[in-house]
């Protein structure tokens, strides 16, 4: 089987590999294709695509948009969209500004709680779009927590000392926007959301797939979301959610993958053909 990993992050958001390094790793790991799905940004795509030509790996242009539904984070992946779409650019610009404003508030809350952490330390961890994982890495390095789950459980999760709500974007907003930009929207790791009735709303808006195969999905959950995708007429996608070494390491790039046929199906569903 020709393998594709459709969920990976670079230093453009909260990964530890540069786009070029990640594509080189994809080559070493025997992947035919890898998707660059950085959080709320397209900044790593051009470097990755150039590296793909260099190493002979097909780079699938992607993004992972952060949304909220009934108090739960829902991440919507978009593939093969038009990166010059004005509304998409406007949203990612707002998200970038919100991340910086949110960082200031989170740092202030942590400092008030006696945590000796600075904005400069966090920004030094973040080569791209800054987020809570970058704060977690500083907390780990300074000995406040042992790992990422503890950082979120004690300080950064909803309702905790350092938590500040993000910009309000709904899954419906994200799906509509990706479709409008000519792309193929997919709900990432739906098992972490646990609200399957959401898809009754998203499918009519143009949802294309469910990420059934994910490191945080045990086998029974993968089977469940394969069946749910079939019921809704959706593609079954998957990927390793690779972030590199450190706080968010879930496994090696390509450790969760799908057949290359899924790449072709995502591209077929996309109405924007500027990547072909």
Reported as type and span, the H/E element at residue 117 is none
* CA 201 to chain centroid: 21
Model confidence, pTM: 0.88
Task: Sketch out the chain's domains with CATH numbers.
Answer: 3-83+167-269 (3.20.20.140), 92-156 (1.10.150)
Helix 19-28 to helix 45-55 angle (10° resolution) is 30
Cα 13 from Cα 39, distance rounded (Å):
6
Cα 49 from Cα 162, distance rounded (Å):
36
Q: Enumerate residues 6+ apart whose C-beta is below 8 A from 145.
A: 136, 139, 151, 154, 155
* CA 165 to chain centroid: 18
pLDDT tens, the chain, 276 aa long:
799 999 999 999 989 999 999 999 999 999 999 999 999 999 999 999 999 999 999 999 999 999 999 988 999 999 999 999 999 999 999 998 998 999 999 999 999 999 999 999 999 888 777 889 889 989 999 999 999 889 999 999 989 999 998 888 999 999 999 999 999 999 999 999 999 999 999 999 999 999 999 999 999 999 999 999 999 999 999 999 999 976 566 789 999 999 999 999 999 999 999 997
């Amino acid at each position: 089987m020709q393998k594709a990993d459709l969920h990976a992050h670079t230093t453009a958001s909260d990964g530890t590999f540069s786009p070029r390094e990640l594509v080189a790793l994809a080559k070493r790991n025997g992947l035919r294709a890898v998707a660059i799905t950085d959080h709320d940004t397209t900044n790593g795509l051009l470097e990755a695509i150039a590296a793909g030509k260099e190493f002979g790996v097909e780079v699938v242009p992607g993004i992972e948009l952060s949304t909220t539904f009934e108090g739960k984070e829902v991440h919507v992946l978009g593939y093969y969209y038009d990166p010059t779409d004005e509304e998409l650019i406007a949203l990612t610009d707002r998200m970038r500004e919100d991340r910086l404003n949110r960082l200031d508030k989170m740092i202030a809350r942590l400092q008030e709680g006696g945590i000796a952490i600075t904005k400069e330390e966090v920004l030094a961890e973040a080569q791209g779009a800054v987020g809570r994982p970058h704060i977690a890495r500083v907390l780990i390095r300074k000995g406040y927590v042992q790992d990422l789950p503890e950082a979120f459980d004690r300080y950064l999760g909803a309702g905790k000392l350092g938590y500040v709500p993000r910009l309000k974007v709904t899954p419906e907003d994200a799906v509509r926007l990706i479709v409008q930009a000519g792309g193929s929207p997919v709900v990432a790791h739906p098992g972490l959301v646990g609200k399957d009735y959401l898809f009754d709303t998203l499918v009519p808006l143009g949802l294309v797939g469910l990420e059934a195969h994910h490191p945080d999905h045990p086998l029974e959950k993968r089977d469940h979301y394969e069946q749910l995708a079939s019921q809704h007429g959706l593609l079954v996608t998957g990927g390793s959610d690779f972030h590199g070494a450190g706080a968010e390491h879930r496994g090696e790039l390509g450790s969760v993958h799908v057949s290359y046929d899924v790449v072709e199906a995502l591209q077929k569903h996309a109405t924007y053909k500027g990547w072909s």
